Amino acid sequence: MKQKKIFDIGMYDGSDSRYFLDEGYHVVAVEANPELAAKAMQEFQDHIADGRLTVLNRALADEPGEIELVLCGDDLGASSIFEDKIAHRNPSGTCMVQAVTFSELVGEFGVPDYVKVDIEGADRHCILALNPDNRPQYLSFEADHDLEELVAHMASIGYQQFKLIGPCSFLELGNERSLVNRLKRRMMRILGFEQPLRVRRAGRWFQLMHSSGPAPWASDGEWYSAETLLSKWNHARQNDQLMGWYDVHAC
């Protein structure tokens, strides 16, 4: 039986990879920051040894070769190949890392079942490289200024169902503003807390700010069309209803 595979592009501290491994998947994790990649190779050495995890110290880009990574002093996981993405977050230097394209990953490891992308403004290099032959069944990435362009591309290659998930709650955009959730947030603020450190979703605990939460097939809310996704996104932006940043889930 073919083992299901996930690409974790933007491994950060390994929270998502650990979740995927716990769920029984083979994981190919890509992390541009050398320090984070080295920590992961040490922390996950048993999973690497048994062949269930591959950690690549690479920056996903639109062409191979070397590329400059700008290091973020506030958060190593926020380092980016785009200097302007972290100009306000205490840049602490640069380093050169080997770049890898999505096509190269597929050529080496095959088409995955799911791709999670969170690479500080470079998500488009993965999304625009997808085509009907290499697209995964499920996909998630961070919504940004280019959302309409990326969703149009995804729809053109066969993605039909979408969600917007808030990584500060792991709830679908509409459910974030439900009466129950707003009352919970108000009670937390009364008790002196801005937000919880962990939340329970899909039968397990996820750490906020370190995890992408449940995979798309287990995430909160109903699926909707590309048109509805963009309508929800634009309405929330225009009415100042966004609570932090958001991930797009697609299938």
Assess whether 99 and 205 both reside in one domain. Answer: no
Residues of the chain with pLDDT under 50: 1
pTM of the model: 0.91
146 occurs within a structural domain: no
Rounded-to-integer distance, Cα 222 and Cα 164, Å: 10
Structural domain count, the chain: 2
35 in a domain, yes or no?
Answer: yes
53-96: per-residue pLDDT in tens? 999 999 999 999 999 998 988 887 888 888 888 778 888 889 99
In this structure, the answer to whether residues 179 and 130 fall within a common structural domain is: no
Containing H/E element for 21? helix 15-22
Same domain, 20 and 127: yes
User: What was the pLDDT predicted at 10?
Assistant: 96
In a domain, 151, yes or no: no
Q: Are residues 102 and 184 in the same domain?
A: no
**Which of 172, 166, 165, 163 lies closest to 224 in space, CA to CA?**
163
Last residue of a domain, one of 90, 119, 136: 136
Looking at residue 91, what is its pLDDT?
83
Q: Does any domain span residue 44?
A: yes
Whether residue 157 lies inside any domain: the answer is no
What is the C-alpha to C-alpha distance for residues 123 and 127, in angstroms, rounded to an integer?
6
b or e along 160-174 (b: 16 or more beta carbons within 10 Å of the residue's beta carbon)? eebbbbbbbbbbbbb
Same domain as 172, residue 239: yes
Work out whether strand 138-142 and strand 204-207 pair parallel, antiparallel, or are unpaired: unpaired
Provide the domain limits for residue 123: 5-136
Residues 6+ apart with CB under 8 A from 118: 9, 10, 12, 141, 142, 212, 247
**Joined tokens for residue 131:** 């085509």
Q: Residue 82 has what pLDDT? A: 86
Whether residue 148 lies inside any domain: the answer is no
Looking at the structure, do residues 211 and 119 belong to the same domain, yes or no?
Answer: no
Task: Give domain status of residue 142, yes or no.
Answer: no
